[in-house]
Amino acid sequence: MEWCQVRTNPERRQALVDAAIEVLADDGARGLTFRAVDKAAGVPAGTASNYFANRDDLLTQAGARFYERLQPSAETMSQLTDGPKTRENVVALMREVVGRIEAFRTGYLAQLELRLEATRRPELRKVMTERVRADIDFNVRNHLDSGLPGDKESVLLLYLALNWLIVDRLTLPEVFTEEESAALIEAAVHRVITASD
């Protein structure tokens, strides 16, 4: 009876998934074991194995948790929907997104690990593809619905360009300084979204 209660404790499950993200970022996919997650979460040995059917289940849930933790704030959503319909507002929004992702460095590094692991695990690839596609669609839909300048292709091009900037900032931070990063974001928006959009 107690085992069933522990297994369905949502706060404990969330803490374990968050710990899995930290393990992925620190030790890579090969280092992701139930024992490592238990240690990172500071729980008794064997706890993670009570919550996840297997390692693949843990990998999949870690991938989904990244997106949960990166949801934009109400203030950001208000800036999107109610802010000025200008390229400058798009620049501000793109800087906010990059800053939010950089602030969750371990989450993004864990995502990179999961993407590499997905090349070898068809079920994980399926889940990751669905989740990334949903995130892209969410961003395109919100941008178009907001009335900001730019079209679907503009959003996709910014997604592609800024993701690689984020990879460099989080893996090789000496390549681009914070100031260079901010300038590159502005340049990308101004080149992708023309004044007539």
Residue 60's closest CA among 118, 14, 9? Answer: 118
Residue 169 has pLDDT above 70, yes or no: yes
Q: Which numeric CATH code is attached to 2-65?
A: 1.10.357.10
- CA distance from start to end of the chain: 61
Task: Find all residues with CB under 8 Å of 72, minimum gap 6, and list them.
Answer: 80, 96, 97, 100
* Predicted local confidence at residue 194, as pLDDT: 86
Under the banding of pLDDT at 50, 70 and 90, the label for residue 63 is: confident
Mean pLDDT, rounded, of the chain: 93
CATH of 70-192, one of 1.20.58.2050, 1.10.10.10, 1.10.357.10, 1.20.1050.10: 1.10.357.10
Q: Would 2-65 and 70-192 be classified into the same CATH topology? A: yes
Question: pLDDT class for 144, splitting at 50, 70, 90?
Answer: very high
Q: Which two tokens stand for residue 167?
A: 């990879």
Cβ pair 162, 142 in contact under 8 A: no
Helix (H) / strand (E) containing 99 = helix 87-103
Summarised one tens digit per residue, pLDDT across range 96-120 is 999 999 999 999 999 999 999 999 9
How much is the average pLDDT of 63-86?
93
Residue type, 37: V
Q: Report the range of poorest mean pLDDT among 64-73, 101-110, 151-160.
A: 64-73
pLDDT of residue 3: 44
At 4, the pLDDT band (50, 70, 90 cuts) reads very low
Determine the Cα–Cα distance for residues 61 and 64; give it in Å rounded to an integer: 5
Write down the domain spans for the chain. Answer: 2-65, 70-192
Residue 147 token pair: 């009335």
Of the pLDDT bands very low, low, confident and very high (cuts 50, 70, 90), residue 123 is: confident
pLDDT in tens, 7-45: 568 999 999 999 999 999 999 999 999 999 999 999 999
